[in-house]
A and B are shown apart, each in its own frame.
Chain A
Amino acid sequence: MNNSIIKYCYGDYGDKESSTGGGTIKTSANEWPLWEIFIRSKQGLDHKHVGSLHAVDAQMAIENARDVYTRRQEGVSIWVVESKYIHASNPDEAESFYEPANDKVYRHPTFYDLPDEIKHM
């Protein structure tokens, strides 16, 4: 008996259209690593996180990012970081992390009188 599993890839909906031409592919080790993408929209601005995508290596991640995120002239520079290297704060700790700042309005510079001539503060 044939125990191989047919795995349908993105966009496949039948054998004929399958990217494997109807063949089977192994399910393990087929997932490409995830990368976080940062784009600088123009010179002088900082790189901003725009999303993530899959790629086999950094080179391909940059090219995929070029195709996925800069098609409409969104950027002049691309950074990619493999997602596993991003360390995040724990949502469960949100209370102790962020709430203590809630009642400390004096940390905002809102108690200064600004001269009328200054328009963009």
Chain B
Amino acid sequence: MNTKNFIYALHLADNALILAQRNAEWTGHGPVLEQDIAITNISLDLLGQVRNFYQYAAVLYNGFSDKQKEEVNQFIPRLWKEYHRELQEDDLAFLRDEHQHLNLLITELPRGDWAQTVLRQFFFSAFQFYLYQQLQNNTDQQLAAIAAKSIKEVTYHLRWSAEWVIRLGDGTEESNDRIKNAVADQWMFTGEMFIPEEFELVDVGALKNSWTKKIEDVLSQAALELPRQTWIQSGGKGGKHSEYLGYLLAEMQYLQRAFPNSTW
């Protein structure tokens, strides 16, 4: 298998992992118990996808020739190299530094208020939905199988988050204000989804129309306007991140770095 597939698996996993970690920040702090469980469920669903992608990436890496290993060396955690054992999913999740992550910037933004959280989930789930629809037909059978398995839960995430966007947009003056601010804040981070990177095995540019149509449809039901602003913030897929990612990783990776190879 190609090194591109390895890097692409990392990208798909990083997207889901960083958003899973962000959503998990709501655990125990949700606005009501029922929605606390809902957002935590979504977080766990994403974490399930993460495990599949990292496990696959680790299998690929362990089977690589020395030359291939050299090609992807920049993504391999330094600490793991001292372990002298095969690469595992947890090494990829807990030992890589900021610049080795290839997640979309929108996934690392702070959780913000509930409006920010559900809007980000909506933008991202809509993207994942159209992406996985394509990915499930990919010639890389393992990635295709993970996409086919995940698309059912993504369909639910999309439905859940879209309903919240509509509920807030079409709700009270305050809820409308909050979701409007969220749209204004996050819009510039959505364009990055559709700027192709070399390692991507799906033509993401081609997803933009369906995605935009879905977003327009839901925002209009929510009495919200699609922003006109066209400036796009990008860099996440290339390993250039906002300051937020470092703090997130510090919290998430602390245990494995302080107590290497610890398990429970």
Closest-by-CB residue of B relative to A65 is B34
Known A-B contacts A11-B28, A11-B29; the reply to A19 vs B34 at CB < 8 A is: no
Closest-by-CB residue of B relative to A9 is B31
Contact of A63 among B36, B38, B113 (CB under 8 A): B38
Complex-state Cα separation, A19 to B35, whole angstroms: 11
Contact of B34 among A17, A21, A64, A71 (CB under 8 A): A64
Contact of A10 among B36, B160, B163 (CB under 8 A): B36
A106 adjacent to chain B (CB < 8 Å)? no
Complex-state Cα separation, A53 to B32, whole angstroms: 10
Complex-state Cα separation, A103 to B32, whole angstroms: 48
B29, B30, B38, most chain A CB atoms within 10 A: B29
Contact A64 B38 (CB under 8 A): yes
Contact of B30 among A11, A20, A71 (CB under 8 A): A11
Contact B34 A68 (CB under 8 A): yes
A67 adjacent to chain B (CB < 8 Å)? yes
A74 adjacent to chain B (CB < 8 Å)? no
Contact B163 A59 (CB under 8 A): yes
Known A-B contacts A10-B36, A56-B167, A63-B160; the reply to A71 vs B41 at CB < 8 A is: yes
Contact B113 A60 (CB under 8 A): no
Known A-B contacts A21-B113, A63-B160; the reply to A10 vs B37 at CB < 8 A is: no
Give, as a whole number of angstroms, the nearest-CB distance from A6 to chain B: 14
Contact of A54 among B32, B41, B112 (CB under 8 A): B32
Closest-by-CB residue of A relative to B116 is A21
Interface of A is mostly: loop
Complex-state Cα separation, A98 to B151, whole angstroms: 52
Contact B37 A67 (CB under 8 A): yes
Give, as a whole number of angstroms, the nearest-CB distance from B7 to chain A: 34
Contact B113 A19 (CB under 8 A): yes
Give, as a whole number of angstroms, the nearest-CB distance from A34 to chain B: 11
Instruction: Please name all residues of chain A whose beta carbon is closer than 8 Å to the beta carbon of B38 when the two chains form the complex.
Output: 63-64, 67
Contact B41 A19 (CB under 8 A): no
Query: How many residues from B make CB contacts under 8 Å with A?
Result: 18
B33 adjacent to chain A (CB < 8 Å)? yes
**8 A Cβ contacts from B6-50 to A:** 28-38, 41
**8 A Cβ contacts from B113-141 to A:** 113-114
Instruction: Please name all residues of chain B whose beta carbon is closer than 8 Å to the beta carbon of A60 when the two chains form the complex.
Output: 163
Complex-state Cα separation, A71 to B45, whole angstroms: 11
Give, as a whole number of angstroms, the nearest-CB distance from B159 to chain A: 8
Complex-state Cα separation, A21 to B32, whole angstroms: 14
Complex-state Cα separation, A71 to B41, whole angstroms: 8
Complex-state Cα separation, A32 to B171, whole angstroms: 14
Known A-B contacts A63-B160, A71-B41; the reply to A10 vs B33 at CB < 8 A is: yes
Give, as a whole number of angstroms, the nearest-CB distance from B24 to chain A: 13
Contact B113 A10 (CB under 8 A): no
Instruction: Please name all residues of chain A whose beta carbon is closer than 8 Å to the beta carbon of B113 when the two chains form the complex.
Output: 19-21
Give, as a whole number of angstroms, the nearest-CB distance from A12 to chain B: 7
7 smallest beta-carbon distances between A and B, as pairs: A64-B34, A19-B31, A67-B38, A11-B29, A11-B28, A21-B113, A10-B33
Chain B interfacial positions (CB closer than 8 Å to A):
28-38, 41, 112-114, 160, 163, 167
- Given contacts A10-B30, A53-B34, 14 further A-B pairs with CB under 8 A are A9-B31, A9-B32, A10-B31, A10-B36, A11-B33, A19-B29, A19-B30, A19-B114, A21-B112, A32-B32, A54-B32, A63-B163, A67-B41, A68-B37
